[in-house]
Structure 1
C-alpha cells in the first residue's frame, strides 16, 4: 500500500473514531463508573465485535446488508431496541457514590461488561456497511487483497483502541467530580438519554 494512501486512511479513521457514538459513550460511561482498569473487559467486548464486523464486511455481509432491506431492518431494529433498553437501565441506575480510586469493585462479573460492550458494538448495522464501503476506497484492485485488508484492519484497531482508552480515561477523571450522588444521578440521566437517543436515531438510518 502506498504511504500517501495509508496516511490518508489514518487521518480519515482518526476523525471517524473520535466522533462520539454508542461505543465511545459506553467507554466513557464505564470509565466513570468503574475506572479504566475495570473498563478493560468492556473495551475488549467492543473491540471483539469490531473485529467480527470487519471480518464479516470483508466476507461480503456488509454488501448483503446494503442490498437487502429486510436484513438491514432486522439488524437495525434489534440494535435500536438494545440501545434504548441500555438507556433506560442507565437512567434508572441508583446514584451510588463512586469511589474516586481506580480499583473500586465493579457491579457484576467481568463477562457481563464484556457482553455489554460486544452487544453495543454489534447493534449498529451501519458499521457493517461502513467497513464494506470504506476499505475498498483505500485498496488497489491490482494488488493482493489480503495484505491490504490486514493493514487497514490493524490500523483501524490501533486507532479505535486508543480512542476508547482515551474516552474511558476521561470518564475515570470525572469520578472525583461525581462523588456527589446528585451529580451522579444527573450523569446517569444524561448517559441514559444519550443511549436512548442513539437507539431512536438508529431507527431512522437507511442503507444509503
Structure 2
C-alpha cells in the first residue's frame, strides 16, 4: 500500500488507541488485581474482538450500522449495559475480591479464560471500532493496490498498536501497586474505576453515527 497513506493511518491509529478508554481501564485493573499475565490474556481478547469487528465492517455490517438506526441502537445498548455492569461490579465488590498481599497469592486466583473473554467483550460490544474501521479505512485505501491486502495490513497494524498500548498501561500500573497496599486506597481505586466504567457505558448511549 502507499507509504504516505500508511503513515497517516498509523498516526491516527496511535492517537485513537492510546487515548483512555474501556480497554485501557480494564488492562490497568487486571494489572492491579492480578499481574501482567492477566493483562496479556485480556489484551489478546481485546485484539481478537477488534479483528472480528474489522471483518464485520469489511463484510458490510458496518454499512448496516451506519444506515440502520435500530441496529446501531441495539449495539450501543448492549455495549453500554456491559460497561455499566463491569462498573457496578467494581464499585460494589472489586476491593473485596482483591486484597493485595506481599506474597502475591492473589495472582493464582483468576481464570485466564474469563479474563480473556472479558477483554473480548469490552471490544466486541463497542460500536466505536466498527465505525472507525468503516469510516477511517476508506480514507487511506489506495486504488493502486489490492484493497483486501491493505485492509488486513491496516487491521493488524491496529491490533499490534492496541496490544502494545494495553501492555504499556498494564506495566505502568504494575509499578504503582505499592500505593494500593493501603486498604482505603484500594477501595477508592475500585470505586473510581468502577464509576468511570459506568460513565463510559452511559456515554456510549450518546455516540452518534
**Which band: TM-score by shorter chain?**
over 0.9
Query: What corresponds to 2:4 in structure 1?
Result: 4
- How far apart are residue 126 of structure 1 and its match? 2.0
Query: What corresponds to 1:187 in structure 2?
Result: 189
Pairs aligned (count): 207
Distance 2:104 2:47 in 1: 22
Distance 2:89 2:25 in 1: 15
Report SS of the residue matched to 1:51.
helix
Which runs of structure 2 are paired with 1:116-127 in the superposition (5 Å)? 116-127=118-129
- How far apart are residue 90 of structure 1 and its match? 0.6
1:161-180 CA-partner distances (Å, limit 9, x unpaired): 11010111122112111111
Q: Does 1:22 align with 2:13?
A: no
- How far apart are residue 156 of structure 1 and its match? 1.1
4+ runs deviating over 4 angstroms = 100-104
User: What are structure 2's unaligned runs of at least 5 residues?
Assistant: none
State whether residues 57 and 128 of structure 1, in contact with CA within 8 Å, keep that contact through their aligned partners in structure 2: yes
State whether residues 34 and 110 of structure 2, in contact with CA within 8 Å, keep that contact through their aligned partners in structure 1: no
Distance 2:95 2:8 in 1: 45
Distance 1:11 1:54 in 2: 18
* Structure 2 CA distance for partners of 1:94 and 1:149, relative to 1, 3 Å: same
Query: What corresponds to 1:138 in structure 2?
Result: 140
Distance 2:138 2:107 in 1: 44
Match of residue 153, structure 2, among 151, 154, 166: 151
* Structure 2 CA distance for partners of 1:206 and 1:166, relative to 1, 3 Å: same
Compute the RMSD of aligned alpha carbons.
1.6
Query: What corresponds to 1:64 in structure 2?
Result: 64
State whether residues 35 and 107 of structure 2, in contact with CA within 8 Å, keep that contact through their aligned partners in structure 1: no
Q: Which moved more, 1:151-160 or 1:103-112?
A: 103-112
Report SS of the residue matched to 1:105.
helix
- How far apart are residue 122 of structure 1 and its match? 1.3
Match of residue 200, structure 2, among 176, 182, 198: 198
Distance 2:155 2:162 in 1: 10
